[in-house]
Amino acid sequence: MAETTETGLPKGFRGAEQGWPELHRIPHPPHRLPLLGDVLGVDRRRPLQDSLRLGRRLGPIFRRRAFGNEFVFLWGARLAADMADESRFAKHVGLGVANLRPVAGDGLFTAYNHEPNWQLAHDVLAPGFSREAMEGYHGMMLAVAGRLTGHWDRELAAGRAVDVPGDMTKLTLETIARTGFGHDFGSFERERPHPFVTAMVGTLTYAQRLNSVPVPLVPLLLRGASRRNAADIAHLNRTVDDLVADRRRSGGGDGDLLDRMLETAHPRTGERLSDQNVRKQVITFLVAGHETTSGALSFALHYLARHPEVAARARAEVDRVWGDTPQPGYDQVAKLRYVRRVLDESLRLWPTAPAFAREARQDTVLAGEHPMRRGAWALVLTPMLHRDPEVWGEDAERFDPDRFDAKAVRARPAHTFKPFGTGARACIGRQFALHEATLVLGLLLRRYELRPDPDYRLRVTERLTVIPEGLRLHLERRTAPARAAAPVTVPDDGSGSAARCPVHRPAD
Whole-number CA gyration radius for the chain: 22
- Sorted by sequence, the CB contacts under 8 Å of residue 98 that are 6+ apart come out as 2, 3, 10, 11, 12, 13, 110
Between 99 and 118, how does the x/- string for binding to ligand HEM read (CB under 6 A)?
---------xx---------
Q: How far is the CB of 124 from ligand HEM (least distance, A)?
A: 12
* Residue 429 binds to ligand HEM (criterion: CB under 6 A): yes
Q: Where are the alpha helices (DSSP H) in 251-290?
A: 257-263, 275-288
Beta-carbon neighbour count of residue 291 at 10 Å? 26
Q: Which of 127, 253, 289, 442 is the binder for ligand HEM (CB under 6 A)?
A: 289
For the CB of residue 419, give the shortest distance to ligand HEM in the complex, in Å. 5
Binding mask 139-168 for ligand HEM (x = CB under 6 A): ------------------------------
C-alpha triplet 482, 484, 485: angle, nearest 5°: 120
346 binds ligand HEM (CB under 6 A): no
CA 438 – CA 33 distance, rounded (Å): 47
Least distance in angstroms from the C-beta of 101 to ligand HEM: 13
Are the C-beta atoms of residues 105 and 143 closer than 8 Å to each other?
no
Quick one: which of 305, 376, 433, 466 contacts ligand HEM (CB under 6 A)?
433
Residues with a known catalytic role: 292, 420, 427
**Cβ 438 to ligand HEM, closest distance in Å?**
11
Under the binding rule (CB under 6 A), the answer on residue 296 touching ligand HEM is yes
Least distance between ligand HEM and beta carbon 293 (Å): 4
Burial of 320 (0-12, 13-18, 19+ CB in 10 A): exposed
- Closest approach, Cβ 27 to ligand HEM, in A, equals 25
Which listed residue (19, 419, 442, 468) binds ligand HEM by CB under 6 A? 419
279 binds ligand HEM (CB under 6 A): no
Concatenating the DSSP letter of every residue in 318-330 gives HHHHHTT-SS--H
CA distances from 187 to 141, 148, 193, 352 (A): 15, 10, 7, 22
E strands, 276-363, in order: 355-360
Position 285 contacts ligand HEM (CB under 6 A): yes
CB 1, CB 226: distance < 8 Å: yes
Say what angle helices 164-181 and 131-157 make with each other, to 10 degrees. 140
Burial of 505 (0-12, 13-18, 19+ CB in 10 A): exposed
Find how far residue 385's CA is from the centre of its chain.
Answer: 16
Residue 292 in contact with ligand HEM, rule: CB under 6 A: yes
Stretch that binds ligand HEM, among 13-21, 362-370, 385-393, 416-424 (CB under 6 A): 416-424
Q: Which span (64-72, 158-166, 199-207, 286-294) binds ligand HEM, by CB under 6 A?
A: 286-294
Per rule CB under 6 A, is residue 183 in the interface with ligand HEM? no
Cα(466)–Cα(381) distance, integer angstroms = 13
Asked if 427 is part of the footprint of ligand HEM (rule: CB under 6 A), the reply reads yes
Asked if 293 touches ligand HEM (CB under 6 A), the answer is yes
The answer to whether the CB of 121 falls within 8 A of the CB of 277 is: yes
91 binding ligand HEM? (CB under 6 A): yes
Instruction: Say whether 427 counts as a known binding-site residue.
Output: yes
**Residue of this chain nearest to ligand HEM (CB atom):** 429
Instruction: State in angstroms the smallest separation of the CB of 432 from ligand HEM.
Output: 5
Q: Binding ligand HEM by CB under 6 A: which of 144, 148, 171, 353?
A: 353
**Residue at 137: amino acid letter:** Y
Distance CA 122, CA 423 (A): 13
Residues binding ligand HEM (CB under 6 A): 91, 97, 108-109, 122, 176, 284-285, 288-289, 292-293, 296, 351-353, 356, 419-421, 425-429, 432-433
Known binding site for heme: residues? 427
